[in-house]
Amino acid sequence: MRAMSLAVLLVLTVSCKREQRQLRVEPDQRAVSLEAREGEIQPGGPVQELVVKNPYEGNADAIAEGERLYGWYNCSVCHGTHGGGGMGLNLLAPALVYGDASDNLFDTINKGRPKGMPSWGGRIPTNQIWEIVTFIRSLRGLEPKAVTPAREEALQYQSPAGSR
Ligand code: HEC
């Protein structure tokens, strides 16, 4: 009897394991920014809370690579070599129009923005978009000091409160 229930248990455990198996969700499919949503009403009802995390947060190598890619993909042509703006918006502005949380920046680069920001999704691999996001955040002083390259005073983000 005991052996029997043990066997049943074993079968249950094994089948449970099988049911728990999940297909891996690719990051670019999960990259839906809730903060960048334009309204509360969404087709298909409430969206399940999706957590999008920048995989390169605090990663000095990613920042360096992001800086290289920022030039490579000609972001600098419109936004200035150091993000100070030009034809495109100033990425060092005290507040960004579309937000400077990692997922906002990802959305901006991935999907583009209406007034002339091209959409790069499909042209820049997801991991490289995240590296550029991390670079822009380091320009804005939003990455830990330890991983942020020192820049000339004039190129540093000025805090909006005018505290310096
Ligand atoms: C052809 C010129 C052009 C290029 C190239 C370009 N951008 Fe833009 N970008 C713009 C314009 C114009 C806007 C403003 C769009 C708007 O306001 O709707 C913008 C907006 C942005 C914003 C949002 C700023 C804010 O205040 O929220 C970010 C971030 C950004 N671009 C990053 C990039 C990155 C990274 C690249 C390279 C992969 C890039 N851009 C390439 C023209 C450009």
Ligand 1 mean position, distance from CA 88 (Å) = 5
Q: What pLDDT was estimated at residue 149? A: 83
d(CA 109, CA 45): 26
Spatial CA neighbour of 79 closest among 36, 33, 135: 135
More confident call, 72 vs 15: 72
Q: Are 125 and 50 in contact (CB under 8 A)?
A: no
Mean pLDDT along residues 94-115: 95
Tokens of 42: 């969404």
What is the separation, in whole angstroms, between the first and last Cα of the chain?
78
pLDDT band at 64 (very low <50, low <70, confident <90, very high): very high
Query: Which of these ranges, 78-87, 110-119, 150-159, has the smallest mean pLDDT?
Result: 150-159
Q: Check pocket membership of 98 for ligand 1, CB cut-off 6 A.
A: yes
Q: Whose CA is nearest to atom 29 of ligand 1?
A: 105
Is a pLDDT exceeding 50 seen at residue 42? yes
Q: Check pocket membership of 118 for ligand 1, CB cut-off 6 A.
A: yes
Q: Check pocket membership of 108 for ligand 1, CB cut-off 6 A.
A: yes
Ligand 1 pocket: which of 38, 72, 74, 78 to mutate (most atoms <8 Å of CB)? Answer: 78
Q: What pLDDT was estimated at residue 28? A: 53
